[in-house]
Structure 1
Amino acid sequence: MEFNLPTYLTLTRIVLIPVLVALFYLPWHLAHLACAAVFGLAGLTDWLDGYLARKMSQTTLFGAFLDPVADKLMVAVTLVLIVQADPNPWVAIASAVIIGREITIASLREWMAEIGQRKRVEVSWLGKWKTTAQMVAIVILLLGMDVWQDSLRQIGQALLVLSAVLTLWSMIQYLQAALPVLTNPRREP
């Protein structure tokens, strides 16, 4: 296991998860604003660790494993908190779609890697757009719990639904890329 600056930034995202949860439940009128800042910081470290790993030629197998795990943990935990605080059906459905897709694609990637077909399901630009929409929606939803509540809540919900649509679209693309391998009757698991 090799640790470098990009890996430490990824680990920072994981460490920020309990910080975000603790802030979320603080009886303070700007607690969700602080959560939005923590989530935004996590999003920044997500971009920065990848950029630095490539720029400084510090990509590692451990970092490649840990980065998507950190992202998915942060997003899933935050979506669960948001749904728990505001059980709106649109937010709940969009959150279930996002979390379900992440589990499905992570499993698909693991299986494809196991059979030597990982390249078929590499991260796409649509996946990056989905992630960006998701991150922005979550920050706006967190902000909308403390400030400009009605306006930000509506914008955040619309963006989260949009990110759920992008999520399904990207999942379909990944499944289509894997379909020739998944439906090959001559291939043994």
Structure 2
Amino acid sequence: MDTLTALTHRVSVPRLTEPGPTPDQLRQLLAAAIRAPDHGMLRPWRFIVLQGEQRERLADVMEWRLLKRQPDADPNARENLRGKALRAPTVIVAVAEITENHKIPAWEQVLAVGAAVQNIMVAAHALGLGAMWRTGDLANDPDVKPRLGFADKDQVVGFVYLGTPAVEPKSLPDETPDQFLRELPRG
């Protein structure tokens, strides 16, 4: 698949199943990620790749967070939440490891990791894989960062779920770029 086709036809795939990416595909996805634009060459991206039973560790973090907020959470809620870590064969946790007090502000470092995740998404589509980028409250919880091995200054940018599409992906609306263009105000 050529680059423009991958960029203009990529869609998120929320329902994923086995098989996940092969070791070679995973290497290609991460190689694409680290070629993202990066003002200052800070290389702020860090990735945790979870496959198979390793996903249970993310499920543990999710359940721990739930119980911290709702100590009396019922077993169904706990199991439902744990299932979120297992909804794809592979999960990549993408984190911006922020270089503090640098001329490149933290928000630009986070954007660089966002661009790295976008590269993963497009590369996954080009390789015939399904991918879904999720964040949610877990990504912004300061108590979760140390459980993932990161400092308070760092930012979880997303959880990228990868696998084989379980159903035919929905197509995006037929839109044109001119729908999103704006004029610069005068004066």
TM bin, normalised by shorter chain, reads under 0.3
| Bigger helix fraction | 1
TM-score by length of 2: 0.26
Structure of higher RCO (CA pairs closer than 8 Å, 6+ residues apart): 2
